[in-house]
Amino acid sequence: MTQSDSSLAPGPVFTKPDRAGRRSRLREFQGQLVERMQAARTGVDTRVNRLGVMVGDTRWLVSLQHAGEIVPVSAITPVPLTRDWFLGLTNIRGNLISVIDLARFHGGKMTTIDKDCRILSFAPGLSSHSAILVSRVMGLRNIAEMTLQAGEAGEAEEAGEAGETAAEVDEAEAAWAAQRYVDNESQVWTGLDLSLIVQDARFLHVGL
């Protein structure tokens, strides 16, 4: 190649991160998820479909009858003299909603809020102006295609292998987090019963 040819060769191309495209895809995914959730709430699908979410490194399944809105994390106003898992209050469509860091409430570390985090509000039928902070929304999951685990001994052994304390094992066996499912990829999911967590005495007492 001559010098003149070399001067005509294209140089390296630098592109800006496609942030707008990513935001558009996230909005599209969330819109499709809302539509699927609304459709799944009718008929027999509501008995087998669950909303899958990540809380820290743990996978959870929430009944569509108990799940409310899924919104990005916006301003959360802290409330003095409350537990560290009680993040504060946020405004969702004009309603003040209490936001709980479920990972911390469940005995884990505080959730690091990033672009994938979402706030999942409780359904109006639960009569609780509450929401949980989740690390990521995983879409709908069909529990009919999963295996329900049985036996507390297996759960205690699993927790022990993961290095959890006895208190954390007891917490994991609370009524609102009593069921474990294994999917076809051997991933473990915990059933989160929001109708029972709103009756948990510790959940109801956020003050120090």
Q: Give 60-85 pLDDT, tens digit per residue.
A: 999 999 999 999 998 999 999 999 99
Rounded (5°) CA angle 97-20-137: 40
Q: Taking Cα atoms as reference points, which of 192, 171, 168, 189 lies closest to residue 180? A: 189
Query: Cα 97 to the chain's mean position, in Å?
Result: 16
Q: What is the pLDDT of residues 173-182, one digit of tens each?
A: 578 998 999 9
Return the structure tokens found at 166. 């006895």
Confidence of residue 31 (pLDDT cuts 50, 70, 90): low
Q: Is the pLDDT of residue 23 over 60?
A: no
The mean of the pLDDT values for the chain is: 80
Picking from 9-18, 114-123, 190-199, which range would have the lowest pLDDT averaged per residue? 9-18
Both tokens of 117, joined, read: 């985090």
| Greater pLDDT, 167 or 131 | 131
- What is the model's pLDDT at position 46? 63
pTM: 0.71
Alpha helices in the chain, H assignment, sequence order = 3-8, 19-40, 45-48, 102-105, 152-161, 166-172, 194-197, 201-204
Q: How confident is the model at residue 47 (pLDDT cuts 50, 70, 90)?
A: confident
What's the CA gap between 74 and 59, in Å, rounded? 23
Q: CA-to-CA distance for 68 and 178, rounded, in angstroms?
A: 21
Over 50: is that where the pLDDT of 157 sits? no
Amino acid identity at 31: G
Residue 37 banded pLDDT, cuts 50, 70, 90: low
For the chain, how are helix, strand and coil distributed in percent, rounded to 5? 35, 30, 35
Closest CA to 130 of 171, 89, 94, 93: 89
Q: Is residue 198 within 8 Å of residue 175, measured between CB atoms?
A: no
∠ Cα 68 71 77 (to 5°): 105
Domains and CATH numbers, the chain: 19-200 (2.40.50.180)
Q: Which pLDDT tens digit goes with each residue over 96-107?
A: 999 999 999 999
Given a cut of 70, whether residue 39 has pLDDT beyond it is no
Check residues 12 and 129 and name the one with the higher pLDDT.
Answer: 129
Q: What's the mean pLDDT in 90-113? A: 95
pLDDT reading at 161 higher than 50: no
How many helices (H) and strands (E) in the chain?
A: 8, 11
